[in-house]
Amino acid sequence: MTILARPWMVSLDTATLSRVSSDFWAADSARRENSQTFVRSLTELGVHVVLSQSHLIELLRHENDDVVAKRLKFIQKLPLVASPRPYLDVSGAGSMACIATHELHAFIYDDCKDPVSICSSVREGLWQTGTGESYVGRLEDWNPLIHAARATIEQDRVIATVSRISPQCSSMPLGHFLSIKPVPKILRNHRFPQFTDKLLQSVRRNGDKRLLNPDSVAHNLATRTQARIDRLDDDDGDLVYKLLSQYIVPSSLLRAEMTLGGLGDLDLLARRLEVIGDALVGDPQVDLESVPPGTLPTLTLDLELTKRQVAAERVSGSDLGDGHLATLALYADVTEVDKRTEAYLRQIRNSGGPVSQLIGHTLKTTDYPGLVDQIARHLSS
């Protein structure tokens, strides 16, 4: 089974890593043997287990301190690990944003102007490798990240919930929206309770079922929305145009037939591009005109995944992490993802879009003893 032609990067789903870690320390000898055999087999194949920042956040946010400590000790036992290199060689595991920044650097400074050449350039120096022992170091040094990971749990649930509240006008063409006569402020205020109630119904129906206080989330969102519109309406000018001015999409990309939902997708892409542009050396001009939609593979794939997650029947705060892990399929040799995410990636592959041919080999999460043969078959093909 030995396949050591080169170091192989395999991204396992955090659910699999959690199960392997649990079995590694289990009282039952059969479970321990399964886990140890799994790790040994991956090592014989030359597989580096990928641990990105998203992996770590999901593994370390468990509420039980003993479980978290055992997961870290399990990582220490791994002979071969890898992580995306943070931009500017800062220590630690890189995130999706780090990979996107490497891609932007390749576009701006290395003259890579299409997704294929960007991926090829970034892949050459993306991975930092080592042993689990060197990766973890002292367990106490991980306490800040553990606390930070736990603090994001409810925030992720709120973000996943709010992202599914799609306005009824999202399918409206931009040209039609511009012709709408705004509702007077006094009438908007009168309708506020009805607006809040509709948001609450949407949160309860479509939001993360583990959300601690859906009523508060809905009311806060309604209040902030009304306050933002009122502030715009207090100034001179047409309210509809002022609402559109809140988007940071260049006017050159706007089309009358574009839907408001499509405009929102471009705005989200523009804001993400703005964030990673701020991290780039040299402070270059970065916007959707200089870096057109579909250029950066990681941001493009993440946006495609997000659109499919938002439309799904069920939602979870962990979907955010799933999307980040799935983008590793652009760079890892094998990427294991859950059943829903694997289906989304298959849809994107078949779409013929900018990154459809860049998505590498993916596996659907299953009982981990069976993963080794699947990984081996791919690496030997």
- Give CA–CA dist 255/244, Å, rounded: 13
Are the beta carbons of 375 and 42 closer than 8 angstroms? Answer: yes
Are the beta carbons of 213 and 154 closer than 8 angstroms? Answer: no
- Give CA–CA dist 235/222, Å, rounded: 21
The pTM assigned to this predicted structure is: 0.86
Q: Which residues of 272-298 are buried (b: 16+ CB within 10 A; e: fewer)?
A: bbeebbeebeeeeebebeebebebbbb
Does pLDDT of 328 surpass 90? Answer: yes
Q: What is the 3-state secondary structure (H, E, C) of 250-268?
A: CHHHCCCCCEHHHHHHHHH
Return the structure tokens found at 212. 């601690």
- The confidence score (pLDDT) of residue 1 equals 44
Burial class (CB in 10 A: 0-12, 13-18, 19+), 57: buried
| Residues counted in the chain | 381
Does pLDDT of 231 surpass 90? Answer: no
Return the structure tokens found at 178. 């511009």
- The confidence score (pLDDT) of residue 211 equals 81
Q: How far is CA 377 from the centre of its chain?
A: 28
Does pLDDT of 238 surpass 80? Answer: no
Q: How confident is the model at residue 177 (pLDDT cuts 50, 70, 90)?
A: confident
Each residue's pLDDT tens digit, 53-73: 999 999 999 999 999 999 999
Cα dihedral 73, 153, 312, 321 in deg (nearest 10): -40
Each residue's pLDDT tens digit, 94-124: 889 999 999 999 999 999 999 999 999 999 9
3-class DSSP state for residue 299? Answer: helix
> Please, what is the average pLDDT of the chain?
87
- To the nearest whole percent, how much of the chain has pLDDT over 90? 48
Kindly state the DSSP code that residue 173 receives in the 8-state scheme: B
Q: How confident is the model at residue 3 (pLDDT cuts 50, 70, 90)?
A: very low
Q: How confident is the model at residue 312 (pLDDT cuts 50, 70, 90)?
A: low
- Give CA–CA dist 263/241, Å, rounded: 14
